[in-house]
Amino acid sequence: MAKETASYISQLVATNPVASDSVSVGDDHIRMLKTVLKTQFSGLSGTTAVTASEAEMNYLDIATLGTSADSKVLTQASGVVTIAGDVKITGTTPLLTIGDAGAEDTTIVFDGNAKDFYIALDDSADKLVVGEGSTVGTNSILTITDDTVTLGDGAAVDTSIVFDGNAQDFYVALDDSADDLLVGVVPITNLEWIQKIHRDNAERGYSAETIVDTILRRMPDYINHICPQFSKTDINFQRIPTIDTSNPFICRNIPTPDESFVIIHFRKGAREKWGIDFQYLLGMINDSFMSSPTSIVVNGGKMGFAMELILTPIIHKMIE
């Protein structure tokens, strides 16, 4: 009788059993084959079928992955897939997509030792947000929408952009605690919408419906974040059309500066703080007038001249 002793496939002898063996030793060979299969594939202890194709199985060989440790680079537990190594995406046009077009936030979290940071799509607000922590929408540092970039999250903290040069650094910042000089330049709401509708349609090819949807989607931000800023400014320049813009969605043309007035409002205390001389301004700007004790009205075409008269002395004082 020709029968080997084997526990693994490599120990099996391909020529056994031989033709001269009796049928009665067949059961010994069958039991041995069962032992070999259960020992060699001891990790398959469940009742789920292995459905990988031969090509998929061959891809997992050590020659392809490098070492046995590499074969465990991808693991899954409790619905979380962990990659224990670097990820490199190659190809002619590499593409990494996060999300499946569902109405849900998608996030990349940088899990640091002392601090975490995230880059995320805040799907409910249609914003790309960079923030501190791991919860989308909290501690926002940078928020991007279709055509607006916002620094800060409305908190009473300084916000800045730092240009880190070789010999010198420069920054553009809001000194929130000092509020040294805050100037607001804003068109009345209908004029702002007219400008956006014309620009998005002419330059970006957006339909009227898409533009209106964008305006409505951003309205909470406009109310909660943009408008409150103008109550903190020292000086506001607000452009108001003198032609009919009651329905901004049907206006064919953007009102020109000469078809507008500009209301220049000085916050309480700003006149004394910066030495604003209303009588001097009224004398220098033709056809200007006071609409209230703290506001001057000028022709829209003279807005640049008015800003020069008002801001130049203030800037000189700040430099000195």
Contact call for residues 185 and 192 (beta carbons, < 8 A): no
Instruction: Report mean pLDDT in 10-residue bins for the chain, 320 residues.
Output: 83 85 82 89 83 73 56 72 82 90 90 91 88 86 83 74 56 58 74 83 85 85 80 85 86 86 88 87 94 93 91 80
pLDDT of residue 290: 94
Contact call for residues 161 and 148 (beta carbons, < 8 A): no
pTM above 0.75, yes or no: no
Rounded CA separation 235/262 (Å): 12
pLDDT of residue 55: 74
Q: 149-151 and 140-144 as β-strands: parallel, antiparallel, unpaired?
A: antiparallel
Contact call for residues 208 and 252 (beta carbons, < 8 A): no
pLDDT of residue 227: 79
CA distance to 162, 163, 164, 173, 174, per residue, from 167 (Å):
14, 11, 9, 20, 24
Instruction: Name the 3-class secondary structure at 102.
Output: coil
CATH code of the domain made up of 183-319: 3.40.50.300
CA distance to 58, 68, 185, 207, 285, per residue, from 65 (Å):
11, 8, 60, 51, 78
pLDDT of residue 151: 80
Contact call for residues 258 and 298 (beta carbons, < 8 A): no
Residue with tokens 């002898």: 13
Tell me the residue type at 305. F
pLDDT of residue 168: 46
Q: Where are the domains of the chain?
A: 9-61, 106-174, 183-319
DSSP code of residue 116:
E
Instruction: Name the 3-class secondary structure at 242.
Output: coil
pLDDT of residue 297: 95
Query: In this structure, what token pair is assigned to residue 10?
Result: 């490599």
CA distance to 58, 132, 134, per residue, from 114 (Å):
43, 11, 13
pLDDT of residue 281: 94
Query: In this structure, what token pair is assigned to residue 199?
Result: 């620009």
- Taking Cα atoms as reference points, which of 49, 12, 46 lies closest to residue 32? 12
Q: 295-299 and 74-77 as β-strands: parallel, antiparallel, unpaired?
A: unpaired
